[in-house]
Amino acid sequence: MDVRALLLVGGGTKSGHEDNIGGIPIAYLDVLGLPIVERVLQRLRRFGVCAATLISERARPEWFGLHARLNADMPYVHAQEGAFWQTAENTFNQYAEGGAELVIAVRIGPYAEVDYEELIQHHLDHRCPVTMAVDSEGASLDIFVLNASRRNDAASLFRNELQKLRTECKSFCAPGYVNRLNTAADLRCLALDALLHKNSISPVGREIKPGIWVAKSARIHRKARVVAPAFIGAYSNVRAAALITRSTVIEHHAEVDCGTVVEDSTVLPYTYVGAGLDVMHSVVGLRRLSHLVRNVEVEISDRKLVGMPAVNVVSRLAGSTAALFAFLPKQIYRGFFAPHHECSADITESLGQQAAALKIPATEAPDSGPETPEFPSNLAVVRRYGEQ
């Protein structure tokens, strides 16, 4: 049987949630080394779908080098603004003319592990023009099977933005794993469930120790500590004294700098996490941090905290080279002009000495600053301590 698929990314959401992070649709973000859209396509292929087309509201995505990472066999159609559903309808018609018998339309949207074989069988058994997949609570999963010959039903479905069927049909209840992927918390939940084997997503990488997956060319400093379960993506870099713990996911080309603790978090691709930070219960990347416990998204413009290296290899290389050449002059400058830090004295000597604050009263100190009427400095000095 000729079964083909339409993968739809965009077209608004029924629930009104923003299904994107930092302007990037969640469908394009990576989960354990592969974009979600790619994982959905792989699942469809496993069930015998012979061709698929990705229809997106955005131009061919450049984020995270995604265009190079999506399956080359999958045609990409950029829908013009306001013509998303029209494009889907046109592509459906092309499939019908090309000899397809059934077309599966999947909006991502929710991530659902549907048994497509059972879905198709259900569709054929009930002889419906359109079959909708629903979860155990009866909510739509935005997955539909359409007879290629029933163009009017397909047109009606797409024109109603997958919200309404032309004719009443018996829905297919999919009992498998479902994640709505509305927010960053859902993305984190999907990765966490994958690490805990609650869904069928498998990390792309080698399991170097039980529960620790490392993808190709990832660098982990020997003084860094990784606690299972964890995933370290391709070309990522975990520097010295960093701690990766509690089901943390570091996606590809991410960098965790020295001494940073990443706990129960997802670091998105091409994200630099600065040195000495505590990243907890968060999804961090795209110059923002979504804190899942506080339920707040914070934009972080400071590159020392959360940065985003260039996606382009040449730009990254140029930046690294410039940083390397700037390092030596900067250190020389610091050596000559930086303020001298006094070494802390021995503790036993310090205990015997009088505290600096007691040596000169604040009123006599040259740097005591201007006196303010609402905060007179001469009053408190008279009785500095109770015993005096």
Partner 1 sequence: MESSKRPVVVKRMPEKMNLKQARDFFKEVQPFLNSDRPQIVFDMSRVRHIDAAGVDVLLACMRTIVRRDGDLKLAALSPQAAVVLELTRTGRLFEIYDTSGAAVKSFSSFLPNAIKHFYPHPAHEALSMVSPEVFVGDDEDQERPDRAA
DSSP characters over 160-173: TTTS--SS--PPEE
Nearer to partner 1, 157 or 284 (CB): 284
Phi/psi region, residue 37 (left: phi>0; alpha: psi -120 to 50; beta: rest), is alpha
| Among 30-38, 150-158, 201-209, 375-383, the segment contacting partner 1 (CB under 8 A) | 375-383
Q: Does 209 bind partner 1 (CB under 8 A)?
A: no
Instruction: Mark out the alpha helices in 110-220 (DSSP H runs).
Output: 116-126, 151-159, 184-195
Q: Does 346 bind partner 1 (CB under 8 A)?
A: no
| E strands present in 57-184 | 76-78, 102-107, 111-112, 130-134, 140-147, 172-173, 178-179
Please select the residue that binds partner 1; options are 12, 75, 276, 319, rule is CB under 8 A.
276
d(CA 37, CA 282): 22
Q: Does 364 bind partner 1 (CB under 8 A)?
A: no
Residue 99-138 contact track with partner 1, rule CB under 8 A, x = bound: ----------------------------------------
Nearer to partner 1, 72 or 356 (CB): 356
Say if CB 176 and CB 113 are below 8 A apart.
yes
Please select the residue that binds partner 1; options are 216, 304, 334, 359, rule is CB under 8 A.
304
Please select the residue that binds partner 1; options are 73, 302, 342, 346, rule is CB under 8 A.
302
User: Per residue in 120-132, is it b (16+ CB within 10 Å) or e — as a string?
Assistant: bebbeeeebbbbb
Say if CB 6 and CB 55 are below 8 A apart.
yes
Please select the residue that binds partner 1; options are 31, 279, 283, 286, rule is CB under 8 A.
279
| Among 121-129, 131-139, 196-204, 270-278, the segment contacting partner 1 (CB under 8 A) | 270-278
Q: Does 356 bind partner 1 (CB under 8 A)?
A: yes
The minimum distance between CB 381 and partner 1, in angstroms, equals 5
What is the DSSP pairing of strand 51-56 with strand 76-78? parallel
Coil, helix or strand for 284? strand
Q: Which two tokens stand for residue 270?
A: 């091409």
* Residue type for position 304: K
Phi/psi region, residue 287 (left: phi>0; alpha: psi -120 to 50; beta: rest), is left
Measured from the Cβ of residue 79, the count of other Cβ atoms closer than 10 Å reads 21
The minimum distance between CB 340 and partner 1, in angstroms, equals 17
Say if CB 103 and CB 50 are below 8 A apart.
no
d(CA 307, CA 315): 15
Cis-peptide, bond into residue 352, ω within 30° of zero? no
Q: Does 368 bind partner 1 (CB under 8 A)?
A: yes
Only one residue has tokens 């949630």, namely 17
Nearest-Å Rg of the Cα atoms of the chain is: 29
Task: Pick the closest to residue 13 from 186, 151, 145, 152 (CA basis).
Answer: 186
| Among 108-116, 146-154, 205-213, 371-379, the segment contacting partner 1 (CB under 8 A) | 371-379
Nearer to partner 1, 337 or 375 (CB): 375
d(CA 77, CA 60): 8
Q: Does 367 bind partner 1 (CB under 8 A)?
A: yes
The minimum distance between CB 240 and partner 1, in angstroms, equals 17
Q: Does 305 bind partner 1 (CB under 8 A)?
A: yes
Please select the residue that binds partner 1; options are 296, 322, 326, 332, rule is CB under 8 A.
296
Please select the residue that binds partner 1; options are 1, 23, 301, 349, rule is CB under 8 A.
301
Nearer to partner 1, 173 or 365 (CB): 365
| Among 22-30, 87-95, 198-206, 357-365, the segment contacting partner 1 (CB under 8 A) | 357-365
The minimum distance between CB 287 and partner 1, in angstroms, equals 11
Q: Does 258 bind partner 1 (CB under 8 A)?
A: no
| Among 173-181, 189-197, 312-320, 378-386, the segment contacting partner 1 (CB under 8 A) | 378-386
Nearer to partner 1, 22 or 176 (CB): 22
Q: Does 340 bind partner 1 (CB under 8 A)?
A: no
Nearer to partner 1, 195 or 244 (CB): 244
d(CA 304, CA 273): 8
**Residue ranges that bind partner 1, judged by CB under 8 A:** 276-280, 289, 291, 294, 296, 298-302, 304-305, 356-357, 361-363, 367-372, 374-375, 377, 379-381, 383-387
